[in-house]
Amino acid sequence: MLGSMARLWQTVKPIRIRLYLGLLSALTASLVALGIPQVLEFLVNRLDTGATAATVWTGGAIVLGLGLLEASLIWLRRVFAVSPSTLVEKDIRVRFYAKVQHMPIAFHDGWGSGQLLSRMMGDINIIRRWIAFGMIMLVTSSVTIIAGLVLLIRSSWILAGIFFLAAVPVSIIAFRFHREFSVLSRRSQDQNGDLATTIEQSVQGIRVLKAFGRGPTALEDFTAQAEELRTTEIRKATSMARFDMFMFMLPELALGVSLFVGIHLVAGGHITVGQLASYFATATLVVGPVRMLGMLFGQMVNASTALDRHYEVMDEDNTITAPETPAAIDPAEARGAVAFEGAHFRYADAPDHVPDVLDGVDLEIRPGETMALVGVTGSGKSTLLQLVPRLYDVTGGRVTIDGVDVREMDLMDLRTLTAVAFEDATLFSDSVRDNVLLGADPTLDEAARDELLHLALRTADATYAYDLPEGVDTRIGEEGMSLSGGQRQRLALARAIAAKPAVLLLDDPLSALDTRTEETVTGRLREVLQGTTTLIVAHRTSTVALADRVALLDGGKIVDVGTHQELMASSARYRWVIANQEEERRRDQDIETLTGELDLSALQGGTEQGR
């Protein structure tokens, strides 16, 4: 806990002076408040010995003045601490976003998106409240308690002793509470994150859940998870309530005993009535911070848990970084020769006994060449593609572009050199234009951008975008959900083309298209991509046949390279893979034709329930 708090202290460096000023205001306010009972003591003692009206008025005015001063100081504390703390909150949040954005795909494979979301929003909010309020108030309360105790001793050491005695169990209870509460607090924050992950996933997968009638099951699972969180929250509240009870009871008890003893002391002439009055006034002031200590302890525990969760993410190592002095490359001048040299890759979570997904891939793609990558499903084609822009790093061997290891390059350079159309066409809820021009040269003027947009849309046969309600400025729904699968896929392809990369990586970009559209797109791609090195994962013979050469990935290795005709003639394995894929496609088409002819209305009655 101390470790993360110390790190936070480093983080708030830019606002430390203002925090000190806030602390100073808060401390002065407390001391001023403690001054009031001293005036009271003076007044009450004077009443004993016959006070004039003037003394009473003066005393009253002083008390009023002190009260006003205290109020202004409390206001100042807010002025000093609140606005800079929001600044730090923003900084921490932006840094967290940058970190998450910067981390490689492997990191995101391992972290639930809801965990990141809750750390990003909830935890950082808790940290801010701790900086602006908790941290300052904890110091202030502690100082007030100490100063108050000194004043109490001054009033009467016997009465102060009674107050002290009550403080011993308070600190024991506080220590035990802290231990219990930190475990619960961590659990609750983690469960919050898991809950967010579940919400995120079901919102994303809402179609699947509905279509399979899994809504009720999903709700059950969610309810169970929410119930778990509730149990934790209740245990947290119970623990807090127990602590609070002692925090309220013990000081009250001490005051009661003090009153009893105090009256005897006054009667015996050991202390004056003024001293007793001042004792009670001071004690009442000290009781407030003593009680607050419980809440502040809770806040501190929450904040340090939030900090731990925050630093857990911030401390994750990013292995995909550029060297200090990256190889000098001009993306505009690149030829785009890609080579895999003994490339190995295995996913971090792969069990020991399975061989590497890529088990020594050797492949050369000549500048400007279109190479098709063929292999059975799960053979590692998508994985291989992702090694080029370093979405994953090889675990052995190397990948080069124009002879330079991709790990030697500046990451921006590398990602300008390459563009990818992924298997799942992820789009952003933004205009068609902005989606397609996402990776386009930002220095182009308006006209050139329009021209590029048109070229990309035409090549990908996505000119349907011009007919959308607001043309290419139509905002497409979240993750492009308002478009059909084929429409989405063609926009994703257009996006890769518009980036004008030297090396284009297409992961089965035409899978959702019918044969005729596919042929149109393949033909146009060939025209436009003259001179662009292209590695295209292909399932259909029509796409494969248009490639200059084909590489067959099998058992983690490239086992055959050549033209489609050559491989058909020479490689039995290739004939087998192609025949398999053709058959799969025929089956798909048969199903399409079949379902087109069937009367589906008979099926509907039975499936409508539970959706």
Ligand X SMILES: Nc1ncnc2c1ncn2[C@@H]1O[C@H](COP(=O)(O)OP(=O)(O)OP(=O)(O)O)[C@@H](O)[C@H]1O
Using CB under 6 A, list all residues that contact ligand X.
109, 347, 349, 357, 375, 377-383, 423
Whose Cβ is closer to ligand X: residue 265's or residue 343's?
343
357 binds, among ligand X, Mg ion, none (CB under 5 to 8 A by kind): ligand X
Per CB under 5 A, which region of 160-168, 208-216, 285-293, 376-384 contacts Mg ion?
376-384
- Cα distance between residue 194 and residue 583, in whole Å: 42
109 binds, among Mg ion, ligand X, none (CB under 5 to 8 A by kind): ligand X
377 binds, among Mg ion, ligand X, none (CB under 5 to 8 A by kind): ligand X
* Smallest distance, ligand X to C-beta of residue 463, A: 28
534 binds, among ligand X, Mg ion, none (CB under 5 to 8 A by kind): none
Whose Cβ is closer to Mg ion: residue 280's or residue 422's?
422
* Smallest distance, ligand X to C-beta of residue 381, A: 3
Kindly state whether residue 383 participates in binding Mg ion, applying the rule CB under 5 A.
no
C-alpha triplet 137, 143, 144: angle, nearest 5°: 85
Q: Report the DSSP pairing between strands 533-537 and 503-507.
A: parallel
Burial 370-403 (b: 16+ CB within 10 A, else e): bbbbbbbeebbbbbbbbbbbbbbbbeebbbbbbe
Per CB under 5 A, which region of 146-154, 318-326, 375-383, 474-482 contacts Mg ion?
375-383
Kindly state whether residue 382 participates in binding Mg ion, applying the rule CB under 5 A.
yes
* Smallest distance, ligand X to C-beta of residue 493, A: 16
Sheet holding 533-537, edge to edge: 418-421, 503-507, 533-537, 370-374, 549-554, 557-562
Whose Cβ is closer to ligand X: residue 383's or residue 532's?
383
357 three-class SS: coil
Whose Cβ is closer to ligand X: residue 109's or residue 227's?
109
**Number of residues engaging Mg ion in binding (CB under 5 A):** 1
Residue of 249, 406, 245, 441 whose CA lies nearest to 332:
441
Both tokens of 85, joined, read 């703390």
Residue of 262, 229, 551, 501 whose CA lies nearest to 379:
551
* Smallest distance, Mg ion to C-beta of residue 536, A: 12
* Smallest distance, ligand X to C-beta of residue 300, A: 39
Half-sphere exposure of 448 (CA within 13 A, CB side): 8
* Smallest distance, Mg ion to C-beta of residue 131, A: 46
* Smallest distance, ligand X to C-beta of residue 358, A: 8
Whose Cβ is closer to ligand X: residue 378's or residue 605's?
378
Whose Cβ is closer to ligand X: residue 191's or residue 382's?
382
* Smallest distance, ligand X to C-beta of residue 375, A: 5
Phi, psi at 359, each rounded to 5°? -120, 55
* Smallest distance, ligand X to C-beta of residue 423, A: 6
To the nearest 10 degrees (0 to 180), the angle between helices 16-48 and 273-314 is 170
- Cα distance between residue 577 and residue 600, in whole Å: 34
Whose Cβ is closer to Mg ion: residue 59's or residue 509's?
509
379 binds, among ligand X, Mg ion, none (CB under 5 to 8 A by kind): ligand X
What separation in angstroms does the CA of 73 have from each of 24, 70, 137, 467?
A: 9, 5, 13, 64
* Smallest distance, ligand X to C-beta of residue 211, A: 21
* Smallest distance, Mg ion to C-beta of residue 537, A: 6
Which class for 135: exposed (0-12), middle (13-18), buried (19 or more C-beta within 10 A)?
Answer: buried
Whose Cβ is closer to ligand X: residue 292's or residue 391's?
391
Whose Cβ is closer to Mg ion: residue 369's or residue 507's?
507
Residue of 103, 561, 405, 327 whose CA lies nearest to 396:
405
End-to-end C-alpha distance for the chain, whole angstroms: 48
Per CB under 5 A, which region of 35-43, 188-196, 218-226, 381-389 contacts Mg ion?
381-389
Which stretches of 12-104 are DSSP H helices? Answer: 16-48, 53-102
C-alpha triplet 543, 546, 549: angle, nearest 5°: 105
Whose Cβ is closer to ligand X: residue 48's or residue 583's?
583
Whose Cβ is closer to Mg ion: residue 272's or residue 382's?
382
Per CB under 5 A, which region of 32-40, 378-386, 396-404, 542-550 contacts Mg ion?
378-386
Q: What residues contact residue 382 under an 8 Å CB cut-off, 6+ apart?
A: 422, 423, 507, 537
* Smallest distance, Mg ion to C-beta of residue 382, A: 3
For Mg ion, the nearest residue by Cβ is 382
Whose Cβ is closer to ligand X: residue 274's or residue 380's?
380
- Cα distance between residue 366 and residue 305, in whole Å: 53
504 binds, among ligand X, Mg ion, none (CB under 5 to 8 A by kind): none
> Computed over its alpha carbons, how large is the radius of gyration of the chain?
36
Binding positions for Mg ion, rule: CB under 5 A: 382
